[in-house]
Amino acid sequence: MECEGSVKSALCVQTILSSAAHAALFYFLRPMVQIKLPDGSLREFPGPVTVAEVAASIGVGLAKAALGGKVNGQLVDASFSMASNADLAIVTAKDPEGLELIRHSTAHLLAYAVKNLFPEAQVTIGPVIDNGFYYDFSYSRPFTPEDLVAIEKRMTELAAKDEPVLRRVLPRDEAVAYFKSMGENYKAEIIGSIPADQEVSLYREGDFEDLCRGPHVPSTGKLKHFKLMKVAGAYWRGDSKNEMLQRVYGTAWASKEDLQLYLTRLEEAEKRDHRKLGRELDLFHIDEHAPGLVFWHPKGWTVWQTVEQYMRQVYRDSGYQEVKGPQILDKSLWEKTGHWDKYRDNMFTTESEKRDYALKPMNCPGHILIFKQGIKSYRDLPLRYGEFGQCHRNEPSGGLHGIMRVRGFTQDDGHIFCTENQILPECDTFTKVLKKVYADFGFTDILYKVSTRPAARIGSDELWDKAEKALMDSLRDSGCEFVISEGDGAFYGPKIEYTLKDAIGREWQCGTIQVDFNLSERLDAEYVAEDGSRQRPVILHRAIVGSMERFIGILVEQHAGALPTWLAPIQVSVLNITDAQSDYCREIAAKLQKSVSNQGLRVDLDLRNEKITYKIREHSLQKLPYILVAGDKEKAAGTVAVRARGNKDLGVMSIDAFIELIAADIASKA
């Protein structure tokens, strides 16, 4: 406003004062918004007020750290405006939701950098995944390792510009036209698949704008600790009939220390990779002639047998009767269970004499058919069946991973047929047994999750109440802290999931116990109750190690191939220094093979005409628990020089003393 002369100046001042008064009046007349913070305190603001403004009112530090907010439980941008009373939690990088915002926004930063360097590339989707994110691109040539280095460098440069991340909303058709005009046909296709009356949100940083529901961090400057990991192929929308895209994977963290810790953990995981160790230790291999199936070598099969025999003893000690069902079952059975309609694409099917069959993907129906043979009384319950049942599932080839994710696997499967009142004691006993088993295998850190009733379910609320309470009480009785996963139970009943945490902090969901009100009805299983009526048994589906293949893979990685003595495929190797000790070494090996409670030790005899240092090194690389060396002195004294794993020299001892030592080692399962 421009003012000249005394009269005009007076009028100008009056106008300015009047405008200020109106502005002040407008500010104070705005409806007040009451914001409730997590500590229960209340703050009032003339509404509407943004998350960022609330953070600024609390303190400069929080304003700087704020990445977004949770308004009435919903994660939103820091720019989100609240026009009415609301519960608000400010989200920073210290919160799990803050890390999600960082990773989501870093995926967009990746797309921004790719478009900056390769304008012809088309962007598709870029979600958050465990420990990071990925983004799929359509481009005329494969990205190279050098490209990834350049993209990451450009991401760092763009982040340093600290450009604001701005949100806007467009009608669907306008958004389709907008992305088509930019040549982003994949984005246009995604938007075109949603209802025409819906609006879509877009986020812009610099000259890059992307379709996204959000939320995002306030500016690119919040993204500082990231790294691109690899590039892989991925079909558009997961359909092999569509174009193969390039999927760039990355990781992002809240701090430099967290990023470095993750990268170090990855390096350690690579050293422990069961596929690599499986080759080096001659345990197993996967062959293109049988994708998703395992070829067990003698050493690997020894580990398998050791695990199986251990679990077989657990069966016996826990009152299970071991059974064995057929591999192939008629289509009609799978129709009754519902698998033929809902799971057929994941089943291997065959035909014979105009009848359709399927390889079993699980053992439950077979166990129910066994239960149905003969009349069962309430006095027979609980009835526990166990089976090392081989199952086959037609997993997508892209999802196969060593022996961790396969198409053919064996479960330590069990089913308990019981009454409603027996659910609690059975679950209680199962959890206690499971904890001991995991401890024996070297796992003491277990996470427990109870998945409760979903919206779509069968069975009365009273029955669900009883089952859920039984599962939770069983964990409390076993001294286990647990989390509740609301609504994640199966439609037929709630369950407990048992997750192992390994030596480098990774989590593996292995064991489970599931309450089933459904299959006994579908397959017409019943027992005679005390009053003479026919009742349906409750079925508890339970497994401890789960897939034997996967569990052995986890064991190999947990112990970095150096399996405890009781599990090691070869427990001790006997080495001679010269041919003069060959017969003595054979005598030692024979005695060891007959020792230790008559079960015998697993012994390797190495009488090769090689330098003893070479032989020791070779056996050490095989991660053997013990190496025994015999020279002329040991032969004359009837002793052996003992070396333990980790290049530990235990000195010279008698054969009996060594047998006592290794027997104690095996018994302790250390």
Question: Annotated active-site positions, please?
Answer: 364, 393, 411, 413, 415, 495, 541
Max distance between CA atoms of the chain, in angstroms, equals 124
Distance CA 322, CA 164 (A): 64
Q: Which one-letter DSSP state was computed for residue 135?
A: E
Order of strands, sheet of 648-654, starting from the edge strand that comes earlier in the sequence: 603-606, 572-576, 626-630, 639-644, 648-654
Cβ-based neighbours of 245, under 8 Å, separated by 6 or more: 124, 136, 137, 138, 233, 234, 235, 236
Distance of alpha carbon 209 from alpha carbon 111, whole angstroms = 10
Dihedral of the alpha carbons of 100, 103, 107, 109, in degrees to the nearest 10: 120
Tokens of 496: 């407990």
Let me know how long the chain is: 670
Instruction: Decide: 135 and 110 in contact? Cβ < 8 Å.
Output: yes
Q: Which residues contact 296 (CB under 8 A, 6 or more apart)?
A: 283, 284, 304
DSSP string, 483-551: EEETT-SBTTB-EEEEEEE-TTS-EEEEEEEEEESSHHHHTT--EE-TTS-EEPPEEEEEEEEEEHHHH
Give the helix ranges, DSSP H, for 395-460: 423-440
Give CA–CA dist 233/450, Å, rounded: 36
**Residue 450 three-state SS:** strand
Pairwise CA distance, residues 573 & 643, whole Å: 10
- Measure the CA–CA gap between 126 and 149, rounded to whole angstroms: 19
**Could you count the other beta carbons within 10 Å of the beta carbon of residue 480?**
18
CA dist 418 and 381 (Å) reads 5
Peptide bond into 48 cis (omega under 30): yes
- State yes or no: cis peptide before 215, omega within 30 of 0: yes
CB 489 within 8 A of CB 454: yes
SS3 string, 140-176, reads CCCCCHHHHHHHHHHHHHHHHCCCEEEEEEEEHHHHH
CA within 13 Å, CB half, 157: 11
CA distance 387 to 330: 20
The two counts, helices (H) then strands (E), for the chain are 21, 35
Torsions phi, psi for 461 (to 5 deg): -60, -35
- Could you give the C-alpha distances from 665 to 119, 461, 564, 625, in angstroms and in order? 63, 51, 9, 10
CA angle, residues 438, 604, 631, in degrees to nearest 5: 125
Would you give the DSSP letter of residue 448? E
CB atoms within 10 A of CB 567: 22
Q: How far apart are CA 342 and CA 339, in angstroms?
A: 5
